Chains A and B, each alone.
Chain A
Amino acid sequence: MSTNKAIDTVAGGKASVVGNYLDDRLHGASGVKKLLNKVFPDHWSFMLGEIALYSFIILLLSGTYLTLWFKPSMTEVVYNGSYMPLKGVKMSEAYASTLDISFDVRAGMLMRQIHHWAALFFVAAVSVHLLRVFFTGAFRKPREINWVIGTLLLVLAILEGFAGYSLPDDLLSGTGLRIAQGIVQAIPLVGTYVAMFLFGGEFPGNEFIPRLYSIHILLVPGILLALVTVHLIIVFYQKHTQFPGAGRTESNVVGYRLYPIYMAKAGGFFFIVFGVTTLIAALVTINPIWLYGPYTPSQVTAGSQPDWYIGWLDGAVRLTPNWETNLLGHTISWNLLIPALIIPGIMFTALGVYPWIEAWVTGDKREHHLLDRPRNAPTRTGLGAMAISFYLMLWISGGNDIIATAFHLSINQITWSLRVLVFVIPPLAFVITKRACLGLQRRDRDKLLHGYETGRVLRLPHGEYIEIHEPVSDNERAVLLGKSDVPPLQLSAASDHNGVANPKAKSGARRARLSNWFYGDNIPVPSEAELEEAAHHLEHAAPGEIASH
């Protein structure tokens, strides 16, 4: 008690009174102090995850607002709102109430558009954040678990987005649901039953919108919120990774304190994301459901396109040839199973287990808190480029009809070209990216040894032109020296010195080959001896000699 009083008299003020009150009950002082003093490293790419988080908060806020007016019902009503072109038209209550939100509730259109834009940004931010984490190797030990949570978040974000834009029951979203239902129906053995149960019978039925609604506003957001929370707690607990640079080691964090610096910066950034989303929602129309009309299963609009994050799935469905087999009187629709279930299944599984695959290939069991620059892990960067180009090919396929009409090309030729390109481009992307990374590594090594090109050209007395090279700055030197060189795994002996065969020799050989593929082409950082010699050379050599490098 006496200590509390002492604090009161020393610190005074209302804040300390509140602080004492809370600490007496929750014992927060020492823990919260640590929390407030926590140091975070600074880099623009660390804001990508923040954008995702803030978009999610904006989605929760704007979504709650929309639930106050939206009626998730497929009951047929006659529209009598203020949007003249649809007056007197029969439609579901879901669609009618979405029109009401858009035209009769003041600021309703703004909230709807904020919600939709934030959803588009959310999936985009999650995706780009994932790429940042991938290309910098931030998923490595001890962060593999958070990587898996991130993968789950991406899958859920895509599903949640699809569920959300399917709710208004307009012609476009109804078409999306029809396709989803057709895909569910294609699942072997249980598909027909699952489709019947989901839709309360045949498509479209009267049940699906209210069911989807509770999934969209309760179940999936609940799981998302729980996973986001765990994701953040783990980031906090494990401390953020940092890029190599001056003063940065594997066992420290260099940056600024959470309080007050990041509270101001990250808190401010929330308002920037919110403000920009609101401005875009005010200025740019998104998903104008009133133009599409109410859903009916006998109509469709030409050139209908899903939200951007569904495009690659739709593209895969468009590209797959019309394979279907009959197994003892049962239909297996490969034309749907491959693009809509097997390919995404493989892609997301590969994504989720990638940290373990890489660790196995490289034999790397160490903790990593310093990030890789993408060029310093050429094989990983190449694989990433390969995955991105595969995704992009599918995504472009999702718009093959738009391309055909915009450029007056034959849809058949475009589809056939993409069927070929989807297999040709990714390996090319791998090779080109890997080579480009190795080229950059060579340049980095060159910079360390011979300095950078200043752009200052000298003419020597005897008429020769040379360019002056100067040593790179301390900070750049720190970045370049931060590259880690891991020797590939060595072949384990096929038998020991007594001639007893090594049972692991075969798998060891395979691993050594893989490890060599992963690390083999690495351009090593100059050794300290080499650096010293080069520095000596740079200082004392005549300008003419420098130029010869």
Chain B
Amino acid sequence: MNEIQHGSHDPIGAVNGHDVITGKPIVPLGHHELRRADIDPKAAIRAERQVAAMFGLSSVLIVTSIIAFIVVPNDVLVILPLIGPVNANHISVGFSLGLGIFLIGTGAIHWAKKLMPDVEITEERHAFASSAEDKAAFGEAIREGKSASGIGERKIIRRSLLGSLALFPLPLIVFLRDLGPMPKTRLRETIWDKNIEILTDATYRPIRPEDIPIGGLVNAVPANLLKIEEEDGNLNERGKASIILVRMAPADIVSQQGQGWDYQGILAYSKICTHVGCPISLYQQRTHHLLCPCHQSTFDLADSGNVVFGPAARRMPQLPITVNEQGYLVAASGFKEPIGPSFWERG
């Protein structure tokens, strides 16, 4: 006798073996299989002990995690198989806590599955629509309230109320105005200008033409950047003025954005991608292609920085360069077109 007979009577929602709503044939709930723990007291006790063991071990592990937190040093690495070097405190706290929490879960579920009743219960489900009377009463209440307030007839009240309610959110939007400045010409300008010295990025040293071999690439910034970063305390100008210098055999240069904008085969281009503004520095010497690591826009630096592939729509702006009296590379002027991603007013 390992099963309980449910009987073959119709479940709730079925009559004569058919769903009252869909009319489809309904198979009654079948036999319920009893579990080991339902019929064998020994099995029940075993299950009880298993559950308690999980809860007990969980307590031990949770206490372990506290002890580990206090005792295990935070500056020692241990090497675990497969996982590699890990912080001793992190791994001991995390592992004991994680397993401790996990065991609360397995204990509770084991308890429910082995020892709590597992007979399926059928509950009635009610239709969602309210009765016609309820709906009518509701409609009546709405109408009554409406006529009591007079919002229907008193047009002047209704309209003036709607007017002020429509205006009410406006100040909340207008007051956001001081979140930032107007764009003005900010996106069109960089701090590059005539005779601004070109410095290597990171080490900030001026560059002589002979420092750059053919095929070489140098990341660079304008000399006036450092002072501005110090004053403004932000990286805004760096985000616009960063450039790369590349040198190629003058014969390899197919075209430039302006006559004589290079210096003996050294070309200066904006580093900021014209797509969405990632800084670019993946340069392939052989093809003179510059590839953006974000969305793979590719520019041909030997050919005016034109787009040869990818989602960028505009060429890389070129910075005209020359050398100053001391023989260091300088800008011959600022950029002649906006650098970086497009914007509505760019034109």
Chain A residues close to B by CB (< 8 Å): 38-39, 74-76, 82, 104, 106-107, 109-110, 142, 175, 178-179, 181-183, 185-193, 195-207, 238-239, 246-257, 260-261, 264-265, 267-284, 295-304, 314, 317-324, 326, 329-333, 335-336, 366-367, 369-370, 400-401, 411-412, 415, 473-475, 477-478, 481-482, 484, 525, 528
Contacts and interface: CB of A to CB of B under 8 A. Distances in A.
A279 to B, nearest CB: 4
A331 B94 contact: no
Nearest to A485: B24
Given A195-B343, A300-B293, 17 more contacts: A106-B69, A106-B89, A192-B345, A203-B239, A246-B30, A247-B27, A249-B14, A251-B13, A260-B112, A268-B112, A275-B99, A278-B102, A283-B94, A296-B235, A298-B221, A336-B276, A481-B26
> Closest 6 CB pairs between A and B?
A282-B94, A275-B102, A182-B276, A268-B108, A249-B13, A271-B105
Contact of A279 (B94, B120, B279): B94
Contacts of B103: 275
Contact of A318 (B24, B109, B234, B311): B311
Interface stretch (B157-165, B179-187, B253-261, B317-325): B179-187
B106 A268 contact: yes
B22 A275 contact: no
Contact of B26 (A247, A256, A400, A401): A247
A322 B296 contact: no
A205 B236 contact: yes
Contact of B180 (A197, A264, A367, A482): A197
Contacts of B278: 175, 178-179, 300
Identify which of B26, B87, B176, B272 gathers the most chain A CB atoms within 10 Å of its CB. B26
B120 A318 contact: no
Given A193-B182, A203-B239, A254-B29, A279 B296 contact: no
B172 interface: no
B341 A322 contact: no
B204 interface: no
Contacts of B100: 275
Contact of A254 (B86, B120, B242, B296): B120
Nearest to A332: B344
A298 B347 contact: no
Contacts of B276: 178-179, 181-183, 186, 317, 336
Contact of B93 (A107, A188, A329): A107
The A interface, classified by DSSP as helix, strand, loop or mixed, is mixed
Nearest to A276: B102
A249 B233 CA distance: 68
Interface stretch (B42-50, B122-130, B141-149, B328-336): B122-130
Contacts of A239: 123, 125
B187 to A, nearest CB: 7
Contacts of A415: 296, 309-310
B182 A196 contact: yes
Interface of B: 6, 11-14, 19-22, 24-30, 69, 74-75, 83, 86-87, 89-91, 93-95, 97-109, 111-113, 116-118, 120-128, 176-177, 179-183, 186-187, 201, 219, 221, 233-236, 238-240, 242, 271-272, 275-282, 291, 293-298, 307, 309-314, 340-347
A106 B105 contact: no
B310 A278 contact: no
Contact of A477 (B27, B69, B272): B27
A252 B101 CA distance: 36
Contacts of A271: 101-102, 104-105, 108
A203 B277 contact: yes
A419 to B, nearest CB: 11
B277 A182 contact: yes
B106 A252 contact: no
21 contacts: A142-B128, A179-B294, A187-B344, A197-B180, A198-B179, A199-B180, A207-B179, A248-B26, A250-B19, A250-B125, A251-B127, A252-B13, A255-B121, A261-B112, A265-B112, A271-B101, A282-B98, A297-B239, A318-B310, A324-B313, A330-B345
A324 B300 CA distance: 19
Given A322-B313, A333-B342, A272 B106 contact: yes
A253 B125 contact: yes
B277 A179 contact: yes
Given A192-B345, A202-B239, A275-B99, A298 B122 contact: no
B225 to A, nearest CB: 10
A190 B180 CA distance: 14
A251 B277 contact: no
A476 B139 CA distance: 46
Contact of A301 (B21, B112, B182, B293): B293
B345 A252 contact: no
Given A201-B181, A268-B107, A329-B347, A283 B235 contact: no
Contacts of B83: 283-284
Contact of A322 (B74, B238, B312, B346): B312
Contact of B118 (A76, A179, A256): A256
Contact of A106 (B91, B93, B234, B240): B93
A269 to B, nearest CB: 6
Given A250-B19, A299-B279, A335-B311, A481 B24 contact: yes
B341 A185 contact: yes
Contacts of A201: 180-181, 186, 236
A107 B22 CA distance: 57
A282 B311 contact: no
A75 B239 contact: no
Nearest to B83: A283
A191 B181 CA distance: 14
Given A196-B181, A201-B180, A261 B116 contact: yes
A512 to B, nearest CB: 23
Contact of B27 (A186, A199, A411, A475): A475
A335 B293 contact: no
B223 to A, nearest CB: 15
Given A182-B277, A254-B11, A367 B127 contact: yes
B147 to A, nearest CB: 30
Nearest to B6: A247
A107 B176 contact: no
A412 B309 contact: yes
Contacts of A332: 344
A528 B25 contact: yes
Contact of A107 (B69, B75, B116, B275): B69
